[in-house]
């Protein structure tokens, strides 16, 4: 029997409609959007008959098995908790929540209801991450010694809740890959702010810093990671980067969009250590029905695509991989990656990193979400 999926939020969320329509294990059953004109336009375009302008009414529909939440960040936690408590599996765009307390509550809800929760973190399903993961699993990296990631983006002019957002409150794109490669759990974090954004932006969230950079220490591991973020008043092309340094090989993300990645190989002559490589696509990991979506956008074909998709260069072909992971986890009765505990850990690193920056770099302990 196919899983009946409802998508909540039809801006970025509409990117996923055709993927669920073509996935062999799902029925793209319903869509939900507060703006009724937008709801009608998108539902008509994709031939979806079941439509809700109320999230609460959607949750009362017994036919809905799973919801994929793409609403504004301030709504993520509340809607995830309500959906889990209503007996629905939940996929939610990043971040999981804006407070550690809400992260804790989502983890509790999954444990008490038995429903699956997956934070739809794009970078850990990007072709670059999958390429590095394959190198690691084949032993080609050797012993991993250090991990590094960044997410820099110019969000001037973005609507609603984005202006002045603390950089680390949206940190999962760089925390996810450094924790996710070796399935590590962040134990504590220290973060420093650097520079200042305009007073008008800074006053919105009482967050002054142009850049926030953090060191993360992992539990039961000799590894640490470095991540940094900027959103406003910093000259930088969009970049979600992930780098890993091993004893045999290291991987570095391109500095400029469209260039090749770099592999460094130990023990070669100095002039031969670095090699530019083209990262392959990983559509072969997917069912044939949705494999093509790693290489193309799906939202408003022929029209302007969602800005996050354009700026993020298609999010590394991650969308169908995320959908497939969420769906197969439900079908197989296993936890998705990242599950609620991992999602809470990654999200809380960013929340507590910002608190650390506001306190001059104070060490902040990450809660043990697995003990709930």
Average pLDDT of the segment spanning 115-122: 98
Q: What is the pLDDT of residues 274-288, one digit of tens each?
A: 999 999 999 999 999
Is pLDDT above 50 for 44? yes
Within the chain, strands assigned E span: 3-8, 26-32, 50-52, 66-69, 89-93, 117-120, 144-152, 186-194, 211-218, 224-230, 239-246, 249-252, 261-265, 274-277, 364-365
Single pTM value for the model = 0.94
Residue 29 burial by CB count (10 A; 0-12/13-18/19+): exposed, middle or buried? Answer: buried
Nearest to 364 by CA among 186, 212, 101: 186
Is pLDDT above 80 for 307? no
Contact, 225 vs 179, CB < 8 A?
Answer: yes
CATH 3.40.50.720 spans which residues of the chain? Answer: 3-122+320-335
Q: What is the pLDDT of residue 157?
A: 86
Is pLDDT above 50 for 216? yes
Is pLDDT above 70 for 308? no
- Chosen CATH of 3-122+320-335 out of 3.40.50.720, 3.10.20.30, 3.60.15.10, 3.40.50.300: 3.40.50.720
Residues 133, 121: Cα–Cα separation, whole Å: 16
Domain 124-284+349-365 class, CATH top level: alpha beta
Give residue 295's pLDDT band: very low, low, confident or very high (50, 70, 90): confident
Nearest to 354 by CA among 228, 264, 270, 261: 228
CATH 3.30.360.10 spans which residues of the chain? Answer: 124-284+349-365
Residues 46, 53: Cα–Cα separation, whole Å: 17
Contact, 121 vs 336, CB < 8 A?
Answer: no
Is pLDDT above 80 for 302? no
Average pLDDT of the segment spanning 321-325: 98
Is pLDDT above 50 for 299? no
Q: What is the pLDDT of residues 223-253, one digit of tens each?
A: 999 999 999 999 999 999 999 999 999 999 9
């Amino acid at each position: 029997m196919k899983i009946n999926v409802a998508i909540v939020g039809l801006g970025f969320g509409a990117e996923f409609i055709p993927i669920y329509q073509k996935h062999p294990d799902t029925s793209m059953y319903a869509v939900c959007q507060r703006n009724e004109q937008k709801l009608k336009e998108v539902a008509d375009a994709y031939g979806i008959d079941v439509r809700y302008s109320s999230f609460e009414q959607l949750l009362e529909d017994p036919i809905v098995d799973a919801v994929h939440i793409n609403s504004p960040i301030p709504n993520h936690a509340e809607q995830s908790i309500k959906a889990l408590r209503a007996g629905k599996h939940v996929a939610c765009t990043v971040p999981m929540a804006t407070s550690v307390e809400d992260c804790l509550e989502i983890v509790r809800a999954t444990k008490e209801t038995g429903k699956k929760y997956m934070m739809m973190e794009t970078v850990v399903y990007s072709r670059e991450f999958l390429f590095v993961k394959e190198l690691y699993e084949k032993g080609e990296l050797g012993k991993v010694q250090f991990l590094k990631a960044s997410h820099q983006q110019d969000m001037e002019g973005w609507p609603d809740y984005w202006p002045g957002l603390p950089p680390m409150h949206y940190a999962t794109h760089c925390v996810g890959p450094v924790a996710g490669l070796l399935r590590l759990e962040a134990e504590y974090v220290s973060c420093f702010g650097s520079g200042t954004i305009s007073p008008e932006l800074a006053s919105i969230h009482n967050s002054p810093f142009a850049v926030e950079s953090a060191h993360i220490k992992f539990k039961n591991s000799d590894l640490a990671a470095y991540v940094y973020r900027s959103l406003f008043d910093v000259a930088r092309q969009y970049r979600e980067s992930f780098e890993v340094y091993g004893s045999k090989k290291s991987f570095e993300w391109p500095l400029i969009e469209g260039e090749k990645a770099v592999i460094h190989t130990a023990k070669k002559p100095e002039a031969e250590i670095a090699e530019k490589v083209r990262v392959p696509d990983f559509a072969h990991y997917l069912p044939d029905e949705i494999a093509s979506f790693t290489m193309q956008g799906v939202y408003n074909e022929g029209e302007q695509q969602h800005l996050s998709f354009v700026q993020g260069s298609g999010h590394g072909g991650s969308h169908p991989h995320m959908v497939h992971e969420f769906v197969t986890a439900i079908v197989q009765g296993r936890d998705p990656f990242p599950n609620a505990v991992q999602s809470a850990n990654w999200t809380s690193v960013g929340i507590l990193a910002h608190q650390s920056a506001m306190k001059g770099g104070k060490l902040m302990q990450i809660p043990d979400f697995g003990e709930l």
